[in-house]
């Protein structure tokens, strides 16, 4: 398709296209010039689609074969022309191969970039704090030590409410032992949850947590809790699960946290396995 467009673009080339394939005789000048142009077209064609080139090639042969005959009559350089023809074809092949490798490489590079973008962006955000990402380099103990040293005094009282959920099909009773805790930022606080296995078989569960509102979650640090690890309860066993947490004093100075005085810490237990 592009070949025909190319040909339509230049009147000369279209005429040469016709002349290449049909006329057995041509003026030598037209041949010499036309051969150069058609070789260019043939080259570009090889990249776009296979068959026109193949079609051209056959014509090439006839034309060059004709040329060969002419040249052998006029000048004795049959080998040169033959070599020229073979190198021309292989050079176009090499060029098209190179193009193929380059393009495939480009595709893979693009796909690789899109995969690499996720962790790279996250690292960038952590390094620059862009978009409010909190640098999680400092451990809680270091933070506590730093604030005790600075002598930061906090005045705002925050109410932390507790919520407990159990996944479907999990026969545990899971409730917070206290409904809420009033704590000031910078004070480590302890809270309890009670879980009871109401079934007749030992069940293993794992829990995950959530803090709402989400933008306050960056200031909520859990020093120690019972989440993310499998906990096994025997049938009928009731157990207390503590959570030891700490709200960053920087919570008070952050203007985004102005209207937030309530935090909800929510735990959900999922069933991992049941021993029978």
Partner 1 sequence: MSAGGAFGGNRGARPVPPEKGVFPLDHMHLCDLEKKDYINCLKFEGHKSEKCRHFSKKYLECRMEKNLMAKQDMSELGFRKGDELQFPSDEEYSDRIVK
Tell me the closest approach of the beta carbon of residue 3 to partner 1, in angstroms: 46
Stretch that binds partner 1, among 38-46, 47-55, 74-82, 118-126 (CB under 8 A): 118-126
Residue 246 · residue 223 · CB < 8 Å: yes
Cα-only R_g, the chain? 39
Q: Which of 21, 47, 81, 140 binds partner 1 (CB under 8 A)?
A: 140
**Residues, the chain:** 276
- Residue 139 touching partner 1 (CB under 8 A): yes
- Residue 181 touching partner 1 (CB under 8 A): yes
* DSSP state at residue 169: T
CB atoms under 10 Å from CB of 42, counted, come to 23
Cα(122)–Cα(38) distance, integer angstroms: 53
Helix, strand or coil, per DSSP, at residue 245: strand
Cis peptide before 213 (omega within 30 of 0): yes
- Residue 156 touching partner 1 (CB under 8 A): no
Cα(49)–Cα(59) distance, integer angstroms: 17
- Residue 183 touching partner 1 (CB under 8 A): yes
Binding track, positions 184-213, relative to partner 1; x by CB under 8 A: x-xxxxx-x---------------xxx---
Terminal Cα distance for the chain, rounded = 70
Stretch that binds partner 1, among 28-36, 39-47, 101-109, 215-223 (CB under 8 A): 215-223
Tell me the closest approach of the beta carbon of residue 198 to partner 1, in angstroms: 17
The residues that touch partner 1, with contacts defined as CB under 8 A, are: 118, 121-122, 130-133, 136, 139-141, 144-145, 148, 157, 159, 177-184, 186-190, 192, 208-210, 214-215, 221-229, 231, 237, 239-242, 244, 246, 256
């Amino acid at each position: 398709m592009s070949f025909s467009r190319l040909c339509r673009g230049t009147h000369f080339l279209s005429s040469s296209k016709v002349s290449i394939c049909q006329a057995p005789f041509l003026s030598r000048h037209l041949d010499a010039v036309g051969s150069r142009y058609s070789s260019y077209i043939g080259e570009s064609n090889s990249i776009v689609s296979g068959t026109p080139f193949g079609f051209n090639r056959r014509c090439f042969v006839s034309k060059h074969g004709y040329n060969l005959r002419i040249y052998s009559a006029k000048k004795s350089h049959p080998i040169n022309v033959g070599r020229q023809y073979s190198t021309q074809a292989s050079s176009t092949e090499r060029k098209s191969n190179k193009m193929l490798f380059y393009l495939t490489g480009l595709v893979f590079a693009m796909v690789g970039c899109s995969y690499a973008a996720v962790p790279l962006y996250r690292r960038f955000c952590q390094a620059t704090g862009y978009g409010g990402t909190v640098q999680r380099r400092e451990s809680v103990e270091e933070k506590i030590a730093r604030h005790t040293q600075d002598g930061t005094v906090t005045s705002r009282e925050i109410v932390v409410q507790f919520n407990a959920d159990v996944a479907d099909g999990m026969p545990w009773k899971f409730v917070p032992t206290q409904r809420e805790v009033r704590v000031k930022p910078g004070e480590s606080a302890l809270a309890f949850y009670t879980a009871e296995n109401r079934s007749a078989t030992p069940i293993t569960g794992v829990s995950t947590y959530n803090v709402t509102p989400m933008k306050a979650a960056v200031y909520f640090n859990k020093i120690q809790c019972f989440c993310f690890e499998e906990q096994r309860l025997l049938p009928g066993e009731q157990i207390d699960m503590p959570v030891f947490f700490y709200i960053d004093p920087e919570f008070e100075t952050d203007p985004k946290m102005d209207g937030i005085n309530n935090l909800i810490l929510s735990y959900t237990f999922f069933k991992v396995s049941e021993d029978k």
